[in-house]
Amino acid sequence: MVTLTRWEPLELEWPERLRRWLDVDVDTDKWMRVEETREDGFVYVKAELPGIDPDKDIDVWVADGMLHISARREEKEESKDKGVYRSEFHYGEFSRTLPMPSGIDQSSVKASYKDGILEIRVPYEVEPKNTSVKIPIKRS
């Protein structure tokens, strides 16, 4: 009997030198994981952004019916041990764009950051207002 297994190249244990040579970053922490729910006239978006300063490294805006989230990360790690100095740094930019329902109120979008989670609340009209108005015709 032959057993088939799916090959997942990003799940391999990459040797450090090979990763650096190929410039392959298999760490999933560079991707922004997002959860979106809709409830009672609000879109709630949660994004995992641990270790990021929300005041200077996160931008959130709404344009053309889309919610845009962008973030920057800079991490630096240094160690000194018995005459050996080692310094590593990780940096990069990443973003997500999510379509929003029609009828969103851009001026009432709220965002907060706590414990590495960015939470965004976007209000929208569940039932869009009727924008058509019947015009009476006057007989002359």
Digit-coded pLDDT (tens) for 7-60 = 555 555 556 555 555 654 444 444 688 999 999 889 999 999 988 889 999 999
pLDDT at 132 over 70: yes
Rounded Cα distance between 122 and 42, Å, is: 5
Domain boundaries, the chain: 30-123
Rounded Cα distance between 54 and 68, Å, is: 15
- According to CATH, what is the number of the domain 30-123? 2.60.40.790
Confidence grade of residue 135 (pLDDT, cut at 50, 70, 90): confident
What residue type is 106 in one-letter code? Q
Whole-model pTM over 0.75 = no
3-state SS class at 109: coil
**128 φ/ψ angles, rounded to the nearest 5 degrees:** -55, 140
Q: What is the average pLDDT score of the chain? A: 79
What residue type is 30 in one-letter code? K
User: Residue 131: what pLDDT?
Assistant: 67
User: Are 120 and 111 spatial neighbours (Cβ–Cβ below 8 Å)?
Assistant: yes
User: Residue 86: what pLDDT?
Assistant: 83
User: Residue 23: what pLDDT?
Assistant: 55
User: Residue 26: what pLDDT?
Assistant: 47
Pick the more confident residue, 93 or 35.
35
pLDDT at 110 over 50: yes
